[in-house]
Amino acid sequence: MLRNKNILIGITGGIAAYKICELVRMFKKNDANVKVVLTPNAKEFVTELTMDTLAQDRVYIEQFNTTDKKPEHISLCDWADIFIIAPASANTIGKLANGIADNLLTSLACAFTGTKLIAPAMNTGMWENRFVQKNISALKNAGMHIVEPESGFLACGTCGKGRLASVEKVFNEAALLLYENQALKGKKILITAGGTRENLDPVRYIGNYSSGKMGKALADAAYNAGAEVTLICTFEETKPYKTITVNSALEMENAVKNEAQNANCVIMAAAVADYRPAECSVSKIKKDKNEELTIKLVKNPDILANLCKNKKQNQIIVGFCAESDDLIENAREKLAQKGCDFLVANDITRKDIAFSSDYNEVYILSKDAPIKKIDRSTKENIAKSILEIIFKGENSGN
């Protein structure tokens, strides 16, 4: 989706500069073109050689390079589709907010009229400094996009807000900004991910091996394509879109019911337990009291089937099915039994795909189209293909 997009990345002098190596790689892996500009202070934290090698282009630092006919701050501005400054130091933020252009990076920021994405990173005291906050507000008011720093352990040894947002978040934010007018803009998409945990007592649960990677990849892909995404998952997740963490099937059912009301599309990628213990012991079950233990299980509600029964007009509902035998036959049956619009089927016996793997290979069944196979690929790629297939009919008016 980022193929041939021109990404200009400005790095300022902060310890988080080393994380930008990974950001550059993420863009390159997605076939984008990357050019890197460093402030003179940034050179203290990352080497030109590292950045040259990762970006496969020379690094820009000098403000007055006479080899180009156009001054660099003009030619780079013409080239870039987006200008990301990460990490953005308090110093550089102060300069941007006041129109100061005393090095190549700040001159570029001054001259560039396109989309700017700023990811600040600094010590908590600096971040909370009222002048820094005033400068941040000024940048926001000027239409720049800010990826807020996160709270956590900082390189200076303290704990608090100021840590650079994850590079994944910066990447996703940039991808979203580049694709503001994308196919899924205006769509509300609800996705579930992960395996539910059905508690037996305060210590133990019945669970499954679902990693939630497929659901997460779908949520990221939908978000990057401009959709308003809600991810209901069985793990903690920090994402630039709404996430809700649940534990059991009943909790998931509740969250799905609330969130599905306004969703244009619901994708149930979660591995929901079919049964739960009839009782959850308040205290830990002790082995000395039981030589044998019998656990009575009761059936969980089928969230997907109930959703399909109460389907809203024009809502698209997608189910997943993980099978170990007769994949297509079982998937056909499940599609009819659940009543969903699409069913994504994968074979869980294969070691090179599905559970916990970063790869998948799926078949997509639908009520009125032939089965489509998406060959083995990363879950990121599979997610994009699934979304394309789901929304293809809509976009072509079918």
Catalytic (active-site) positions:
156
Q: From the list 302, 341, 361, 380, which residue makes contact with ligand C5P (rule: CB under 6 A)?
A: 302
- For the record, the structure tokens of 386 come out as 């699934």
Interface segment toward ligand C5P; rule CB under 6 A; list 3-11, 203-211, 318-326, 381-389 = 318-326
Contact between 224 and 176 under an 8 Å Cβ cutoff? The reply is: yes
**Maximum pairwise Cα distance, the chain:** 85
Which of 249, 263, 316, 331 forms a contact with ligand C5P (CB under 6 A)? Answer: 249
| Least distance between ligand C5P and beta carbon 369 (Å) | 19
Contact predicate 370/363, CB 8 Å? no
What is the C-alpha to C-alpha distance for residues 284 and 59, in angstroms, rounded to an integer? 60
Cβ 269 vs Cβ 317: under 8 Å: no
DSSP 5-33: -EEEEEE-SSGGGGGHHHHHHHHHHTT-E
149 near ligand C5P, judged by CB under 6 A: no
Nearer to ligand C5P, 84 or 249 (CB): 249
Q: Judged by CB, which is closer to ligand C5P: 159, or 336?
A: 336
Number of residues lying near ligand C5P (CB under 6 A) = 13
Instruction: Return the number of the residue (126 or 303) whose C-beta is nearest ligand C5P.
Output: 303
By CB under 6 A, tell whether 268 contacts ligand C5P: yes
Asked whether position 10 contacts ligand C5P by CB under 6 A, the answer is no
Minimum separation from the CB atom of position 224 to ligand C5P (A): 22
- What is the rounded CA–CA span in Å between residue 385 and residue 7? 24
Helices (H) then strands (E): counts for the chain: 13, 19
Residue 304 engages ligand C5P in binding (rule: CB under 6 A): yes
Strand partners, 364: 344, 372
Pairwise CA distance, residues 60 & 67, whole Å: 12
CB of 38 to ligand C5P, least distance (A): 47
Q: Sketch the per residue contact string, 330 through 369, with ligand C5P: x for CB under 6 A, - otherwise.
A: ----x-----------------------------------
Provide the pairing of β-strand 265-268 with 316-323.
parallel
Binding-site member from 105, 303, 308, 317 for ligand C5P (CB under 6 A): 303
CB 345, min distance to ligand C5P, A: 10
**Closest distance of CB 243 from ligand C5P, Å:** 17
Find the shortest distance in angstroms from Cβ 242 to ligand C5P. Answer: 19
Closest approach, Cβ 343 to ligand C5P, in A, equals 8
- Residue closest to 256 by CA, chosen among 330, 181, 319: 319
Cα–Cα distances in angstroms (integers) from residue 218 to residues 28, 186, 388, in the given order? 21, 17, 11
Put residue 314 in one of left, alpha, beta given phi > 0 → left and psi -120 to 50 → alpha.
Answer: left
Contact status, residue 83 vs residue 10, Cβ threshold 8 Å: yes
- Select the span of 134-142, 182-190, 266-274, 345-353 touching ligand C5P (CB under 6 A): 266-274
User: Of 126, 308, 321, 327, which lies in the binding site for ligand C5P, with binding defined by CB under 6 A?
Assistant: 321
- Measured from the CB atom, the residue of 198 and 380 that comes closer to ligand C5P is 198
User: Considering only 2-10, 177-185, 229-237, 319-327, which stretch makes contact with ligand C5P by CB under 6 A?
Assistant: 319-327
Shortest CB 216 distance to ligand C5P, Å: 14
Please report whether residue 194 would count as binding ligand C5P according to CB under 6 A: no
Sequential DSSP letters for 212-259? SHHHHHHHHHHHHTT-EEEEEESS----SSEEEE--SHHHHHHHHHHH
User: What is the Cα–Cα distance from 292 to 287, expressed in whole angstroms?
Assistant: 9
Cα dihedral sign, 236-222-382-2? negative
User: Which of these ranges, 131-139, 146-154, 164-172, 299-307, lies near ligand C5P under the rule CB under 6 A?
Assistant: 299-307
One-letter amino acid of 1: M
319 binds ligand C5P, rule: CB under 6 A: yes
Selected from 102, 274, 326, 375, the binder of ligand C5P by CB under 6 A is: 274
Looking at the Cβ atoms of 7 and 249, the one nearer to ligand C5P is 249
Q: Is 215 in the site for ligand C5P (CB under 6 A)?
A: no
Cα–Cα distances in angstroms (integers) from residue 129 to residues 76, 100, 133, 136, in the given order: 32, 20, 6, 11
Q: Which spans of this chain sit near ligand C5P (rule: CB under 6 A)?
A: 249, 268, 270, 272, 274, 300, 302-304, 319-321, 334
